[in-house]
Chains A and B, each alone.
Chain A
Amino acid sequence: MFEIFGIPSQALFGQLLLGLINGSFYALLSLGLAVIFGMLNIINFTHGAQYMMGAFAAYLILQYSGLGYWPSLIIAPIAVGIFGVIIERTMLQWLYKLDHLYGLLLTFGIALIVEGLARNKYGSAGLPYAMPDSLRGGQNLGFMFLPNYRAWVVVASLTICLGTWFVIERTRLGAYLRAATENPTLVRAFGINVPRMITLTYGFGVALAAFAGVMAAPIYNVSPQMGSDLIIVVFAVVVIGGMGSIMGAIVTGFGLGIIEGLTKVFFPEASATVIFVIMAIVLLIRPAGLFGRAA
C-alpha cells in the first residue's frame, strides 16, 4: 500500500479501472454512432435504448431459455441488430433525402417508445444479472485488486473497437464503406448495392450498442433508463472527438473514461459534469473537435 498525491493507490487504481470500464462503453457506443453517422448521415438517438435492449435481451434469454452470459453475448447483439435492420428498412430509409434533424427526431421517438415499454413491463428499479462463473474472482496485482470480469470488459471492448477499425480502414469491405460514405452515387455505379450496405451498417452499429449492453449487464443492473443518461454523455464524447475518424472515437472514448475516473478520485463533485466541461473547452479551442474535419 502506498500513496500517490496523498491518495491511497488502491483507490486511485480502482477508480482508474472504473474509468477504463466506462471508457470501454463510451468507446463502443461512440464508435457505433460514428459508423452509423458516416453511412446514414443520421445521429442515432435510439443508440442508448438499443444498448439497454442488449442488456434486457441477455436478461430475458437467461430467464426464458436458461442460456447464460456467453451465448447471450452472441445472440443479443444479433437480435437487437435485426431490430435495427427492421427500423432502418421501415422508417429511417425514407428520411435520407430530408434534413438530418428528422433522423434525430425519429430515433428520439423510437427511443421513447422502447424505454417506455421497458419501464411499463419491468418498472424503473434495476434487475440483477449474474456474472458468468468463469469470470468470477480476480487477480491481486500487488498495488490493486483486479476483478476478472472488469479486465475482460476492457479487453473485449478494445478488441472489438480495434477490429472494427481494422475492417473499416484496412480491408476491401471497409474501402467500399468509406467510398460509399464519400460518394454513394458513384459507388452504386460500380455495381455495389449501397442501400443494402447502409442497412447492414445500421444493423452493425446497433449490434455494437447491444454488445456493450450485454457486457454492462453484470456490472450495472439491467434497467430501462440505463441507456438514456449514458447516451447524452456519449454525445458529448462524440462532439469532443468529432465523428470523422474511427480511431478518434475509440481514443476519445477511453481517454474520457479515464479522465472521469480520475475526477472521481480528486474532485468527486465534478465527476458527473467533467466530460461536459471538457466538451465546452474543446469547443472553445478546437471547434471542429479533436479528430474532426472542419465542417
Chain B
Amino acid sequence: MVAVAESITAPAHAAEGRSEFIAFAVMVAVLIVAPFFIYPLFLMQALCFALFACAFNLLIGYVGLLSFGHALYFGWASYLSAHAAKVWGFPPELAILTGAATGAILGVIAGSLAIRRQGIYFAMITLALAQMMYFFALQAKFTGGEDGIQGVPRGKLFGIFDLTSHNTMYVLVVVIFLACFLFILRIINSPFGEVLKAIRENEPRAISLGYKTDRYKLVAFVLSATLAGVAGGTKAIVFQIASLTDVHWAMSGEVVLMTLVGGLGTVFGPVAGAFVIIAMQNYLNALDQWVTVIQGAIFVACVLLFRRGIIGEIANLLRIKL
C-alpha cells in the first residue's frame, strides 16, 4: 500500500537473511562501543525513540496503516510506569511491564475502533482518540497536569542491579531494545507477518483468500501499541519523568517523522531515523523554535524527494534488504 512496494526487488531468500544478519551485528557492535564515545543519556533517549519508531513502523511499514496517534500508547505507558515506580513502589522491571500492559490495553480499545475505517480515516481516528486521551492526561489528578510526574526512582533491577548509574541503565535499555527489535524481526518474518504484508498490498484479495483481515490488523495494532508502551515505560524510568509532551500530538508527528526519515517498511530505518532526529533535537537545541520549522521542512523534503528514507536508499543502492 505504501511506498515500500515501489522499491525493493526481492533477491534470494538466503541473501536477504544474511544482509539483515550483518546489519544487525553491526548495530549491536555500535551499541556496545558507543557509550565509550557518546553520552549514555543521549544514547538511551535515542534507543527509547528507536524502539518507539520500530513499533510504529510495524503498522505503517508492514500493514500499511498510518497511526497518527502513537503518542497515546507511548505517553500513557510512561505515565503509568512512572506512577507504578513512584507511588506503588514497583521495581523497574515491573514498572516497565506496567507500561507495556498500558499500551496493550489502550491498543485493544483504540485499535478495535480505528480498524473499522480504512486509509485516511484510520489516521484521523487514531489522531482524534489520542487527542481525547491527551485531554484526560491534562485533567487527571495522578498525571500531575503541566508538571507531569517527576522524581521517578530508577530503583534496583530484580533487586540486584542498581540503575542509578547511567552505565547499568544503559545496559538494561540496550537489552530491552534488542529483545524488542528481534521480536519485531520475528513477527515480520513469520507466516503472520506475511499475511500482514498481503493485507498491505491488497486487502480485498487477502479477504478473498479467507483471511480475517480485521483480526490480523487488530493483533498487529495491539503488538505495535504494546511495544510503544515498552518504549514509553523505559523512557519514564531512564529520565525519571513522565510529562504531557509525550502524549501530545506533536510526539505522534515526531515518530512518523523518524520512521519516514529512516525509511518506511525497512527493519533498520526507524532506528536510524530516531538517532538522526534525536541528534538533531539535541544539537539544534539552541535554535529552539526553529526545530519545528526544520522538522516540517524534513517532512516536505522526505515526501517529495526521498520517500525511501535513509536506510531505504542505502538498501536500494546496494540491492539488498535492510
List chain A positions with a Cβ less than 8 A from chain B: 37, 43, 91, 94-95, 98-102, 104-106, 108-117, 119-120, 228, 232-233, 235-236, 238-239, 269, 272-273, 276-277, 279-280, 283-284, 287-288, 295
Most chain A CB atoms below 10 A, which of B118, B128, B139, B307? B128
Q: Taking the complex as formed, is B12 at the interface, i.e. its CB lies under 8 A from any CB of chain A?
A: no
Query: Interface code B272-291, partner A: CB below 8 Å = 1, 0 otherwise?
Result: 00000000000000000111
State whether B292 touches A283 (Cβ < 8 A): no
Point out the residues of chain B lying under 8 angstroms from A104, CB to CB. 66, 68, 120, 123
B19 shortest CB reach to chain A, Å? 26
Kindly count the residue-residue contacts between A and B in the assembled complex, taking CB atoms under 8 Å apart: 129
CA distance A242 to B62 in the complex (A): 27
In the complex, the 4 A-B pairs of residues with the closest C-beta atoms, listed nearest first: A109-B299, A112-B296, A116-B292, A113-B296
Which of A94, A117, A235 has the most chain B CB within a 10 Å cutoff?
A235
From 284 to 322 in chain B, residues with beta carbon under 8 angstroms from any chain A beta carbon are 289-293, 295-300, 302-304, 307
Cβ-closest chain A residue relative to B66: A101
Nearest chain A residue, comparing its CB with the CB of B5: A99
Determine whether the beta carbon of B136 is less than 8 Å from that of A273: yes
Q: Are B296 and A109 in contact (CB under 8 A)?
A: yes
Q: Are B303 and A109 in contact (CB under 8 A)?
A: yes
The residue on A at minimum CB distance from B129 is A276
- In the complex, are the beta carbons of A116 and B135 less than 8 A apart? no
Alpha-carbon distance A91/B116, docked complex (angstroms): 31
- Is the pair A120, B290 in contact by a Cβ cutoff of 8 Å? yes
Given contacts A232-B128, A235-B128, contact A273 B135 (CB under 8 A): yes
In the complex, 13 of the A-B residue pairs with CB atoms within 8 angstroms, ordered by the A residue number, are A99-B2, A99-B3, A100-B119, A101-B2, A105-B299, A109-B297, A109-B299, A116-B289, A116-B290, A116-B295, A119-B289, A120-B293, A283-B116
The distance in angstroms between the C-alpha atoms of A295 and B136, with both chains bound, is 31
Tally of contact residues, B, Cβ under 8 A: 44
Query: Across the interface, which residues of B come within 8 angstroms of A100, CB to CB?
Result: 119-120
Question: Known contacts A99-B2, A112-B292, A113-B292; can you find 18 more A-B pairs with CB under 8 A?
Answer: A91-B300, A95-B303, A102-B307, A106-B304, A109-B295, A109-B296, A109-B299, A109-B303, A119-B289, A120-B289, A228-B249, A232-B131, A236-B124, A236-B128, A236-B131, A273-B132, A279-B128, A280-B129
Q: Which residues of chain B from 54 to 99 have a CB within 8 Å of any chain A CB?
A: 60, 64, 66, 68
Contacts of B120 in A (CB 8 A): 37, 43, 100-101, 104
Residues of A within 8 A of B119 (CB): 100-101, 295
Contact A111 B296 (CB under 8 A): yes
Judging by beta carbons under 8 Å apart, are A115 and B303 in contact?
no
Please indicate the chain A residues that have their CB under 8 angstroms from the CB of B131 in the complex. 232-233, 236, 276
B244 within 8 A of A: no
Smallest beta-carbon distance B250→chain A, Å:
9
Q: Given A232-B249, A284-B113, are A113 and B300 also a contact pair (CB < 8 Å)? A: yes
List the A residue with the shortest CB-CB distance to B6. A98
Q: Are A235 and B304 interface neighbours, CB within 8 A?
A: no
B157 at the interface (CB under 8 A from A): no
Task: Judge whether A239 and B299 touch: CB under 8 Å.
Answer: no
| Neighbouring B residues of A287 by C-beta, 8 Å | 116-117
Known: A100-B119, A101-B2, A102-B307. A276 touches B128 (CB 8 A): yes
- Residue numbers in B under 8 Å from A94 (CB-CB): 304
- Smallest Cβ distance from B303 to chain A, in angstroms? 4
> Which residues of chain A have C-beta atoms less than 8 A from B249's C-beta?
228, 232
Cα distance A238–B128 in the bound complex, in angstroms: 11
Which chain A residues lie closer than 8 Å to B293 at the CB level?
112-113, 116-117, 120
Residues of chain B with a CB closer than 8 A to A272's CB: 135, 139
Which of A106, A236, A283, A284 interacts with B300 by CB under 8 Å?
A: A106
Q: Which residues in chain B, 95-148, are within 8 Å of chain A measured between CB atoms?
A: 113, 116-121, 123-125, 127-129, 131-132, 135-136, 139
**Does B53 have its Cβ within 8 Å of any Cβ on chain A?**
no
Contact among A105, A109, A232, A269 with B127 in the assembled complex (CB-CB below 8 Å): A232
In the bound complex, what is the Cα–Cα distance between A108 and B290 (angstroms)?
16
B299 adjacent to A235 (CB under 8 Å): no
Smallest Cβ distance from B296 to chain A, in angstroms?
3
Are B1 and A99 interface neighbours, CB within 8 A? Answer: yes
Q: How far is the CB of A36 from chain B (nearest CB, A)?
A: 12
Which residues from B are CB-within-8-Å of A236? Answer: 124, 128, 131
**CA–CA, A283 and B128, complex, Å:** 12
Is A238 within 8 A of B124, CB to CB? yes
* Closest beta carbon of chain B to A202's beta carbon, Å: 16
CB neighbours (8 Å) of A115 from chain B are 292, 296
CB of B53, distance to nearest CB on chain A (Å): 15
Residues of A within 8 Å of B198, CB to CB, are none
User: In the complex, how many angstroms separate the beta carbon of A94 from the nearest chain B beta carbon?
Assistant: 7
Chain A hits for B128, CB < 8 A: 232-233, 235-236, 239, 276, 279
Q: Within the complex, what minimum Cβ distance (angstroms) separates A255 from chain B?
A: 17
Chain A residues with Cβ below 8 Å from B135 are: 272-273
- CB atoms of A110 and B296 under 8 A apart: yes
B40 within 8 A of A: no
CB distance from A237 to the nearest CB of B (A): 9
Inter-chain CA distance A232–B127, complex, in Å, is: 7
Please give, as numbers and ranges, the residues of chain A lying within 8 Å of B256 by CB-CB distance. Answer: 105, 108
Task: State whether A112 and B299 are in contact (beta carbons under 8 Å apart), knowing that A101-B120, A276-B132 are contacts in the complex.
Answer: yes
Contact check, B132 vs A277: say whether CB atoms are below 8 A apart.
yes
Tell me the smallest distance from the CB of A221 to a CB of chain B, in Å.
19
Minimum C-beta distance from B131 to chain A (A): 5
Residues of B within 8 A of A108 (CB): 253, 256, 296, 299
- Beta-carbon contacts of B253-284 to A below 8 Å, as 1s and 0s? 10010001000000000000000000000000
